[in-house]
Chain A
Amino acid sequence: MAPFAGYDMPISYATGAIEEHAITRRSVGLFDIDHMGQFEVSGPGADAFVSGLVSAKILDMVPPMARYSLLLDEKGLVLDDLFIYRMPDSWWIVVNASNRETDLAWFTSHADRSVKIVDRSDDTYMIAVQGPKAIELLDAVGTPAVSALERFTWGNIDIAGVPVLFGRTGYTGEDGGELFFPAAKAEFLWNFLIEKGEALGIETKPIGLAARDSLRFEAGMPLHGHEISPAINPLEAGFKWACDFDKEFVGKAALSEIAEKGLARRLVGLDVTGGVPREGYEVADASGKIVGHCVAGMFCPTVKKYAANAFVEPGFNKVGTALKVIIRGQPKDAVVVKRPLYIPAYRR
């Protein structure tokens, strides 16, 4: 068990991190992600309020759409990344565990009386069901069938009498979804899904934090505190696509200024030979000059690469650029590669 944002969470189960990663890529992985926070934003001013606070275009959304967005401060730095669900009379916003308190304070400080913000994190449990057979499993145990829902939409379903908000979303690069339901039903639903998977002959296993990280890393998804953070702006991290410059939002002015000045660094993927790159390791050019640092790195089980995400100075970000990662004092060969290393199943 490891402490993660105040929660005790397994790094891996008895299965082992590499095998857990493989199971999610070939069948179904179950992720206990109750640490994620959920806010419900409603009221007559809610639409304008949320739109003004988050970077993505959201006013075109109608139920049952769900969309990724960033939350920026006035300097254009990334306070958090969010998943935003357009509900009939409200916005359901999923935030990262480690940022729940600061996000809530940020939301509340920007709200007026026309907006109601409720932190639903404590009474809501969240389990992710991910993998090529996840939809088959959920269709078999719940009603109505979730296979009818498109990627990035939600539906209300019933699983064994438990009312579940299902989002066809995830953080692994596989198909599947994320389940929101009353916290009191957590243990029941978790065991139910594992037992039903077994009974149906669909391999279904619990997946720990280490595999969750390698799955998201391969699929090119950011982890707050690494590829994005309050010290990183979305342009250098490659998230311009999540910023709608046709609307007003907190941080927009700063981003425009940053874009005009030019970026001081860029996020790249590195394929490393001769060692495992890790967060904090320096990146050098051929002459040995330090030109950046790794923000995440690991062995990637599906693509079988030792890879890192690193911020590097301009001029070193082109695919094919030969660099070095300093691993315990030794420069090891690295080459800039296209991200993501693993194309998400739903984008193929």
Chain B
Amino acid sequence: MSIDTKAKYAESHEFARLESGLVVVGISDHAQAELGDIVFIELPAVGKTIAKGQTFGTVESVKAASDLYMPVSGTIAAVNEALQADPALINKEPYAAGWMLKIQPSNIAELDALMSAQDYAKAIGEA
């Protein structure tokens, strides 16, 4: 399982990576592997403000539907439209082409409270 060392991680397996002032969010490689083939994703509207820990969408795999949770609070600055046509991008490249959201964070300190890549690796038994 690959882990993006530049990202921080929520216990619910979302990653959050700071990129030019915005927080890029998706799910970890471990999470996509656990879910199996992803066939559908529902993402929020751009401009919506959602608090940390609240659901921002749903991802559906062959097996089941899973909620997605905001790793930090903020306003949705962008969603990855390419996932509507090809949700399998989340399986193929969870940290790159499979990104889900870009958040304008309302409290950047929340990012520090997330797990480091190292701690996340330990949490999923990869280290």
Contact = CB atoms under 8 A, between A and B. Distances in A.
Interface string A322-344: 00000010000000000000000
Interface stretch (B2-10, B35-43, B68-76): B35-43
Contacts of B37: 12, 16-19
A275 B63 contact: no
Interface in A86-113: none
Contacts of B36: 11-12, 16-17, 210
A276 B65 CA distance: 8
State which size class the interface on B falls in.
10 to 19
Contacts of B63: 11, 210
A210 B39 CA distance: 13
A18 B60 CA distance: 13
A306 interface: yes
A274 B63 CA distance: 17
A278 B65 contact: yes
Contacts of A299: 39-40, 60, 62
A322 B7 CA distance: 45
B62 A298 contact: yes
A24 interface: no
Interface residues of A, number: 16
Nearest to B40: A276
A204 interface: no
A298 B42 CA distance: 16
Interface in B11-44: 36-37, 39-40, 42
B60 to A, nearest CB: 4
A217 to B, nearest CB: 12
Contacts of B40: 275-276, 299, 306
A130 interface: no
A214 interface: yes
Interface in A14-36: 16-19
B62 A214 contact: yes
A275 B62 contact: no
Contacts of B65: 276, 278, 328
Nearest to A278: B65
Nearest to B64: A278
Given A12-B36, A16-B37, A18-B37, A210 B62 contact: yes
B49 interface: no
A278 B37 CA distance: 16
Contacts of A328: 58, 65
A285 B65 CA distance: 24
B60 A276 contact: yes
Interface centre among A12, A18, A19 (most CB of B within 10 A): A18
Contacts of A12: 36-37, 62
Interface of A: 11-12, 16-19, 210, 214, 274-276, 278, 298-299, 306, 328
Given A210-B36, A299-B39, A306-B39, 18 more contacts: A11-B63, A12-B62, A16-B37, A17-B36, A17-B62, A18-B39, A18-B62, A18-B88, A19-B37, A210-B62, A214-B62, A274-B42, A276-B39, A276-B40, A298-B62, A299-B40, A299-B60, A328-B58
30 contacts: A11-B36, A11-B62, A12-B36, A12-B37, A12-B62, A16-B36, A16-B37, A16-B91, A17-B37, A17-B62, A18-B37, A18-B39, A18-B62, A210-B36, A210-B62, A214-B62, A274-B42, A275-B40, A275-B42, A275-B60, A276-B39, A276-B40, A276-B65, A278-B65, A298-B39, A298-B62, A299-B39, A299-B60, A299-B62, A306-B40
